[in-house]
Structure 1
Amino acid sequence: MTSIGTIIKEIIIPHRKGNIRLNPEFVVLGDAHIQGFLLGTDYQRMYDIDLYNKLLNEFRDGQLSTTLTSKQKLSLMKIPRKNRPAFAIGEEPLGNIRVHYIELYVDVEIPYSPMLRRPPYPESLETRREIYKHINDLLDMDGIRKIGHNEIVEITTPVLITCNDGKYRLCGDFRALNNYTKAERYPIPKIHHA
């Protein structure tokens, strides 16, 4: 087989989780009679395609701007892969961004008032199991962390809410904390603070 040139052709690989659009460069062989095409390992690695034409990590480029060049689209799609811990993926619905902190200013001093130090609500054995399951899932996803033996957290009680589809949702009861939290009157920073 002799090579007679190359051609760049846009192809779309269909997949149940979203189509993959590629602009690969093909080598044209003079005396080849091949019905399909061979995709190089560089493209397979770049787009996370395995040999069975499956998409290993779900992504879609259908919402990218049409004015972007293919090189710009390629560099844009590399961002989620470089910062993989910050993005949510299928089995782990939480991203892990650790740069955003919220400061609350509470009107009361430690030790907190009895309203804030409320004991957990009574729950059935099934509800308790479901709460522990949700808490363990959040621990596995790094959504929460265990507190140390010297830390005291007395201002929340876990509550299990039943959704319409029969699933449970774990919430924290912060109603008492909201009553004691000072309202932020000036959310925009003052000029001399900036």
Structure 2
Amino acid sequence: MYPLGILDTNLLFLHPSGSVRIKTEIVVIDNCTSQHIIIGNYYLNIYGIDINNHKDRYFTTGENKRQKFSFSNIPKQISIIYSVKNTYKEESVANQLAEAHINPSLSPKMRHDHLDVLYTYKNALLSDNEPLHTIKGNEVDITLNIDRPYPQVLRRPTYTANPRAREASEKHIQELIQLGVPRKVSHDEEFEVTTPIIISWNNDKSRMVGDFRALNTYTIADRYPIPRIQETLTQLSKDKYIKSMDALKGFHRNVFDAQNLEIIYYYHSIWYL
């Protein structure tokens, strides 16, 4: 069980000198129902409120204990109140999407539905324990069409980089290390295939890519190539709606087969795998 949100409401008790209105906050808990309401002694003593939970629920107020007031019948299925402050969902989503912003012009219902979807599929979002999700069960297998000893072209040295490109590459490497993608290669590890990295620029923004051209020359092509543009358009021609998303940065993290780790190895000022 976990809290879903808080309802701001008022409890109204009839009183001979005027109704008693108590402002309350009711915590809504998932998979949990409550049959009782607890009121502090401060209100009970001042207004003489006596709540009885016998066969029929009622309450009395003031000195007249014979005049009984029944509680309003509340249906078992309460319609969703979209003004509920979904504090638990808000905090949960905000912690995982610290850099994201929800459109403030959304209606309360739209915001509630949006948070509900994000919370339901929160396992698909990033977390501190796993900052970049991994696609498991579909390990990448790279098969070379040559045997050892491998040609020298597969052991590529690092490219000469200017200070600007080197600074950008250091930044990209550190970012990937924080995401848990590469690891540093120890001094006792030896590899026969190495790949240099390249820093490309577009609109004054840097992008780090691996130069796998030599490796691709000696790699057996995948049996399932990327579909042609015309094939994709043909499949989409039957759809009524097309939704696209342009993200600032995105990753698809696949796991390489253990026997391929010696192939995916690239050069930098420090070597990484």
Same fold (TM over 0.5): yes
Post-superposition CA distance 1:70-122 (Å, at most 9, x none): 8xx85872441xx3xx6347x9xx62215142101111223321221121111
In structure 2, the residue matched to 1:181 is 219
What residue ranges of structure 1 are gaps of 5+ in the alignment? 1-21, 188-194
CA RMSD of aligned residues (A): 3.9
Specify which of 192, 195, 199 is matched with residue 156 of structure 1. 195
In 1: Cα distance, 2:167 partner to 2:224 partner: 43
In structure 2, the residue matched to 1:77 is 119
Alpha-carbon offset, residue 185 of structure 1: 3.7
Residue identity opposite 1:179 in structure 2: T
Structure number with bigger Rg: 2
Q: For residue 47 of structure 1, give the secondary structure of its aligned residue in structure 2.
A: helix
Alpha-carbon offset, residue 174 of structure 1: 0.4
The answer on whether the counterparts of 2:196 and 2:210 sit within 8 Å (CA) in structure 1 is yes
* Gap change, CA 1:170 and 1:186, over 3 Å in 2: closer
Alpha-carbon offset, residue 157 of structure 1: 0.8
Residue identity opposite 2:217 in structure 1: N
Q: For residue 171 of structure 2, give the secondary structure of its aligned residue in structure 1.
A: helix
Calculate the TM-score normalised by the size of structure 2: 0.42
Residue identity opposite 2:147 in structure 1: E
In structure 2, the residue matched to 1:15 is none
Counterparts of 1:12-27 in structure 2, within 5 Å, are 25-27=7-9
State the structure with bigger RCO (CA 8 A, min sep 6), 1 or 2.
2
Is 1:48 the counterpart of 2:91 in the alignment?
Answer: yes
* Gap change, CA 1:87 and 1:118, over 3 Å in 2: same
Q: For residue 178 of structure 1, give the secondary structure of its aligned residue in structure 2.
A: helix
* Gap change, CA 1:185 and 1:103, over 3 Å in 2: same
In 1: Cα distance, 2:170 partner to 2:9 partner: 57
Is 1:97 the counterpart of 2:134 in the alignment?
Answer: yes
- Fraction of identical pairs, as percent: 26
Alpha-carbon offset, residue 170 of structure 1: 0.6
* Gap change, CA 1:44 and 1:110, over 3 Å in 2: same
Specify which of 133, 155, 168 is matched with residue 206 of structure 2. 168
In structure 1, the residue matched to 2:167 is 129
Alpha-carbon offset, residue 56 of structure 1: 4.0
